[in-house]
Chain A
């Protein structure tokens, strides 16, 4: 993308592909909900990123092969935007053998080292400091790679973020902290969690390049991400808050009784997928073309459910694998320890 030209919907020819990526995320998340309803998900702790698609697609656009990242518990969209295979993702969410982590991690602890995904996290803020270490290595090796932590607004109140930002700035690391500010952390609205709601100001205080961008228009996120990532690759860590709205409940089962209907209606108007679609129409794409694209995506994502249902449960003895490295002795099963003790009589 030409960084000197004003970036706007009208001038951009890539919008169709960004729309496609965002629609893929939304459709995938929708199918995650379906997997749960069909009783095929491993549990109900499923956090959908509907409404946040522009953050994932917009930021990941600035990332390249070899960049590493961590995500939070609402990270399906980010992983897809970095090239994840939706079948293997869905199978992991189903706790199945063909999942990225062979059924051990699930939705909240999914990872793929091949794509630089150092891990999603069920601990709010838990994945943040790892990018400091990963960036330290990138800098040492001089490979031009960055490391990116994605997290929610709730993690802005975890102390570890500030320790991490301070180190990143102190050591001029190629790091970016991306806060997906969907306004809510479970039932707590951002202004009920902090008085300092201009989130990027905190990062600026540590010496990071820091911005807040409205997530409605993916092109705005792309432009902001380009600026921040350029700085990070040159050794000035960055921070980007993407303002958006959590369309549905905290988890799949939460009906958000703590939000008013009005707030939800207004919030959902901040819809990056719809916005991009309308922009495409304005650019001269026709509904039929976009419908055909949507249909293709629907088919791709429908298949993830079939793939997951067809995938076997992991074999029981795989639970002893991966505690330690391959080739190391595995933990002895309790049953065999008991048998040994009883056999001694």
Chain B
């Protein structure tokens, strides 16, 4: 079946909401409007306004209310229209949602999902184009999923909606319209497991979200030149499946990490450090980060594109690492 990323997300919500009457969505324009990017389109007709709760533009209270609803026994799917707004909700997310189980000695958890989207691709400018997953990954207590494929858009969201702890679920705005051939009935990998998208003997590319596609494109290009890359799609950054990374890196000894987010102190930095620490004896080269520039994103089409890695930079870096 050919399915778009956006439609897979919608289907996941529909199936989960049919199964579990405690699941409800809460956020700006999630109901009548159907979501700024159309993910919740039509859901209000089946599930009603009580389960697609349209809110005022009040992000901290949206996330905070979801925290409370989760503590009170339901399973909210809060939505932030853009991940860039997470800054406004940092207290509710990082001081409340993330810490409640721990601070209260394990008495209660916060089983909520925070759906949001990030990344470049629409000339949306500095305040609507960021990749802020490091904020989340840096906060103990939060889970973090970032689907890069249509299949994962569906199954990771289904799995996120079964987790006992808060999950931040970051979609990529550049993927909503992407269609892929999928069979959703194939059982998904266990929650928290990475997937090896491609196996090769020369270099390991570790990545997630939209950059999966850039890595795969680069790997195809390299294959034509005789360079074979392994491509790992992490799918979730917390839990982090380091075993899969280690198993791929040790026999090859060359690894690069690819991320759209600003390079410094980003997810790629954490991954590169961890590979360096844990696989040090097997590495032939430094673990190289191919990541976003340490700059805000411009609205100019050219500058926007130039701010994040594309397949060409991925391929070139791999080529030089292997040489």
Please determine whether chains A and B interact with each other in the same assembly: yes
Q: Residues of A at under 8 Å CB distance from B?
A: 41-45, 95-96, 103-109, 121-126, 154-155, 157-159, 185-188, 192-194, 258, 313-314, 316, 318-320, 323, 331-335, 337-338, 341-342, 344-345
Q: A192-B54, A194-B56, A338-B320 are in contact. List 5 more A-B contacts (CB 8 A).
A: A121-B127, A155-B57, A159-B58, A186-B29, A323-B295
Query: Are B263 and A154 in contact, with the CB atoms below 8 A?
Result: no
Residues of chain A within 8 A of B54, CB atoms compared: 188, 192
Contact of B286 among A121, A154, A341 (CB under 8 A): A341
Residues of chain B within 8 A of A123, CB atoms compared: 84-85, 88, 127
Query: Are A108 and B125 in contact, with the CB atoms below 8 A?
Result: yes
User: Is B285 interfacial (CB-CB < 8 Å)?
Assistant: yes
Query: Are A323 and B294 in contact, with the CB atoms below 8 A?
Result: yes
By size class, the interface of chain B is: 35 or more
Query: Are A104 and B293 in contact, with the CB atoms below 8 A?
Result: no
Q: Which of B64-95 contact A (CB under 8 A)?
A: 84-85, 88
Closest beta carbon of chain B to A113's beta carbon, Å: 17
User: Is B300 interfacial (CB-CB < 8 Å)?
Assistant: yes
Closest beta carbon of chain A to B302's beta carbon, Å: 5
User: Is B52 interfacial (CB-CB < 8 Å)?
Assistant: no
User: Is B204 interfacial (CB-CB < 8 Å)?
Assistant: no
Contact of B29 among A188, A318, A342 (CB under 8 A): A188
> Which secondary structure characterizes the binding site on chain A?
loop
Nearest chain-B residue to A95 (Cβ)?
Answer: B300
Query: Are A334 and B290 in contact, with the CB atoms below 8 A?
Result: yes
Closest beta carbon of chain A to B176's beta carbon, Å: 14
Query: Are A42 and B300 in contact, with the CB atoms below 8 A?
Result: yes
Closest beta carbon of chain A to B28's beta carbon, Å: 7
Closest beta carbon of chain B to A182's beta carbon, Å: 14
Contact of B288 among A187, A258, A314, A341 (CB under 8 A): A341
Given contacts A123-B84, A314-B302, A316-B303, contact A157 B294 (CB under 8 A): no
Q: How far is the CA of A323 from the CA of B294 in the complex (A)?
A: 9
Q: How far is the CA of A335 from the CA of B320 in the complex (A)?
A: 12
Query: Are A104 and B57 in contact, with the CB atoms below 8 A?
Result: no
Query: Are B302 and A108 in contact, with the CB atoms below 8 A?
Result: no
Given contacts A186-B29, A186-B36, contact A313 B300 (CB under 8 A): yes
Query: Are B301 and A95 in contact, with the CB atoms below 8 A?
Result: yes
Query: Are B123 and A95 in contact, with the CB atoms below 8 A?
Result: yes
Query: Are A258 and B32 in contact, with the CB atoms below 8 A?
Result: yes
Contact of A105 among B84, B299, B302 (CB under 8 A): B299
Closest beta carbon of chain A to B161's beta carbon, Å: 25
Query: Are B299 and A109 in contact, with the CB atoms below 8 A?
Result: yes
Q: How far is the CA of A103 from the CA of B294 in the complex (A)?
A: 18
Nearest chain-A residue to B123 (Cβ)?
Answer: A43
Query: Are B263 and A334 in contact, with the CB atoms below 8 A?
Result: yes
Closest beta carbon of chain A to B319's beta carbon, Å: 10
Interface core residue of A122, A318, A338 (most chain B CB under 10 Å): A338
Query: Are B123 and A45 in contact, with the CB atoms below 8 A?
Result: yes
Closest beta carbon of chain A to B288's beta carbon, Å: 6
Residue interface mask B300-323, A partner, CB < 8 A = 1? 111100110100010001001100
